[in-house]
Amino acid sequence: MKKVVLSVVAALAMSATSAYAADMPVKAVKAPAAAPSPWDIAFGSAIMSDYIFRGVTQSAHQPSVAAYFEPRYNLNANWQLYVGISGESIKFANNAAAEIDFYGGVRPTFGPLAFDFGIWEYYYPGGVCYGTGPAQALDPGCRAALPNGNVVKKNVSFWEVYGKVTYTWTDWAFGLNEYYSPNFLNFGSGAYGDYLSGTIKYTAPEKMAIGPLGWYVSGEFGRQWLGTTDPFYGQAAANGFPAQLLGVKLKSYNTWNLGVGATWKVFTLDLRYSQTDLNKGDCNAFTSDPGGIGTTNITAANPGGVGSSWCGARFVAKLSADLTLANLK
Q: What is the pLDDT of residues 29-88, one digit of tens each?
A: 455 556 678 999 999 999 999 999 999 999 999 999 999 999 999 999 999 999 999 999
| 121 neighbors 103 (Cβ within 8 angstroms) | yes
Q: 153-193: per-residue pLDDT in tens?
A: 999 999 999 999 999 999 999 999 999 999 999 998 889 99
Residue-level pLDDT at 26: 42
CA distance 2 to 139: 113
C-alpha distances out from residue 312 to 34, 71, 81, Å? 54, 36, 37
Per the prediction, the chain carries an average pLDDT of 88
- Does 265 have pLDDT greater than 60? yes
- pLDDT greater than 70 at residue 195: yes
> pTM of the full predicted structure?
0.86
Reported as a single tens digit per residue, the pLDDT across 72-129 is 999 999 999 999 999 999 999 999 999 999 999 999 999 999 999 999 999 999 999 9
Q: Of the candidates 54, 62, 87, 104, which has an alpha carbon nearest to the alpha carbon of residue 257?
A: 54
CATH architecture of 35-328: Beta Barrel (2.40)
d(CA 4, CA 116) in angstroms, rounded, equals 80
Dist CA 232 CA 53 (whole Å): 24
Percent of the chain predicted with pLDDT > 70: 86
Domain boundaries, the chain: 35-328
